[in-house]
Structure 1
Amino acid sequence: MSTEVTKLVAEQRTQFGKGAARKIRRADKIPAVMYGHGTAPVHITLPGHEAMLALKHTNALLTLVIDGEEHMALAKDVQRDPIKPVIEHVDLVVVRRGEKVTVEVGVHVEGEAAPETVVTTVLNTLEVEVEATNIPEWVTVSVEGAEAGTQVLAGDVTLPEGAALLTDPEWLVVNVTQQQSQAELDAELEEAETEAGIEREESDEEAGAEAPAAEEGAPEAEEA
């Protein structure tokens, strides 16, 4: 369970917009906004390096010190640069100890299924309601020895004590199927191509194999 709370010293900010945000990031800080419990949004900056480390995990719980006053907040939305390892903005929700929050937690599949099977994770996260100070980093699904045809639904996943499932319990999370042979895969591909009207070009080997052999005893061409 994620019981550790990281403490960060934050600063209130009064400048907004893209230009101000770029200036904040150049100073190795991260623009953020904190809201919740009926209070007006508070625009702040977070220390860049410390915040990057704290936000490596999903659903990070932080204690923010602003003007000497502590606020507990949950990271709800972390906007990252698609190319560079930079956090562009963070949305934080104020929470209190003992309060339950709605979060999405990752699904971690472990174990080895039966031979000649394929394990597919259909649902990568589950939505749960849990105490803010007891958010699991993930939930575990074991497929040890699972035979083809095994299906794990959301309602089958064991949740930590005190957590309630909000995802539809009938949704498929993990599916174990029979591994297909290469011949079966080739047949499915050929059928799909036929349905799509795709004509496959013959390779030189296929064309050579289908060429009719010269008939034995055929008359030789007369010499001129």
Structure 2
Amino acid sequence: MNIKAMKRESVGTGASHKDRRAENIPGVIYGKEEGSISVLLNEKEIREVLKTQGDSAIFDVTMEDGKKLQVYIKEVQRHSLKNQILHVSMQTLKAGQKLTVFVPVVLENTENVKIGVLEQALYEVSVETVADKVPEEYTVDAGSLEIGDTLTVADLEQLPDVEIVEEPDTLIATVSAPRVEEEPEEDAADPEVIGEDKAK
């Protein structure tokens, strides 16, 4: 995926508000050769990158002068209450450079678990690899799990040139027994009212 970036001339809170009103997201690109470059990213384009690849996205940025940089996202700052991206920090990548990113973990065939409660404990896993080897996601078949069964990082597919950083016994998912609701106690007999005519 390739998005365009404009060099950001003005910085500060006021400039940031103005940029976001114009549907441009402030950002910075860090690199050993480039130093740090303050940029503006098109909000629609960066949202599409985050939607399809997540907060560890790897993509190309084309500068106004035509220079193309391959980058990965280091940090996305979001508004705590609004659905608003405030700032994106990116790091340049060189050919063959390894990086550590988070990859989503997706459970498949969960509808086949008929008895018990399937609970997912790990939704993403940390891996180390080069940019063009980063998997989009790991899928794990949970359809045959029964009560007491678990899935761990050791059950993930081993991909060439991709090292999973997590410990092999890290829990991904488990099936537990359904919780049994306690039966309500039967209502005690109505108390006898003193003086009530028992003959009624």
TM-score normalised to the size of structure 2?
0.83
The match for 2:7 is: 12
Going from structure 1 to structure 2, the CA distance change for 1:180 and 1:44 (only over 3 Å counts) comes to same
Aligned counterpart for 2:68 among listed residues 67, 70, 80:
70
RMSD between superposed Cα atoms in Å: 2.8
Q: Distance in 2 between matches of 1:42 and 1:60?
A: 19
Instruction: Work out which of the two has the higher radius of gyration on C-alpha atoms and give 1 or 2.
Output: 1
Q: Distance in 1 between matches of 2:192 and 2:158?
A: 69
Instruction: Report if the CA contact (8 A) 1:151-1:172 is conserved.
Output: yes
3-state secondary structure, aligned to 2:44: helix
Per the TM alignment, residue 213 of structure 1 is displaced from its structure 2 partner at its CA by: 5.3
Residue identity in the other structure for 2:136: E
1:67-119 residue CA offsets vs partner (Å, 9 max, x unmatched): 22111111222223344433211011101233221001111111145432111
Instruction: Report if the CA contact (8 A) 2:98-2:131 is conserved.
Output: yes
The match for 2:88 is: 90
Q: Distance in 2 between matches of 1:182 and 1:117?
A: 14
Per the TM alignment, residue 146 of structure 1 is displaced from its structure 2 partner at its CA by: 1.0
Moved over 4 A (4+): 218-221
Q: 5 Å matches for 1:204-223?
A: 206=187, 209-212=188-191
Instruction: Report if the CA contact (8 A) 1:114-1:148 is conserved.
Output: no
Q: Distance in 2 between matches of 1:83 and 1:63?
A: 30
Matched, 1:49 2:44: yes
Per the TM alignment, residue 12 of structure 1 is displaced from its structure 2 partner at its CA by: 1.5
Q: Distance in 2 between matches of 1:220 and 1:177?
A: 55
Going from structure 1 to structure 2, the CA distance change for 1:159 and 1:84 (only over 3 Å counts) comes to farther
Q: Distance in 2 between matches of 1:176 and 1:78?
A: 34
The match for 1:148 is: 147
Aligned residues: 194
1:26-68 residue CA offsets vs partner (Å, 9 max, x unmatched): 2221100111346421111112222222222312222112222
TM-score normalised to the size of structure 1?
0.75
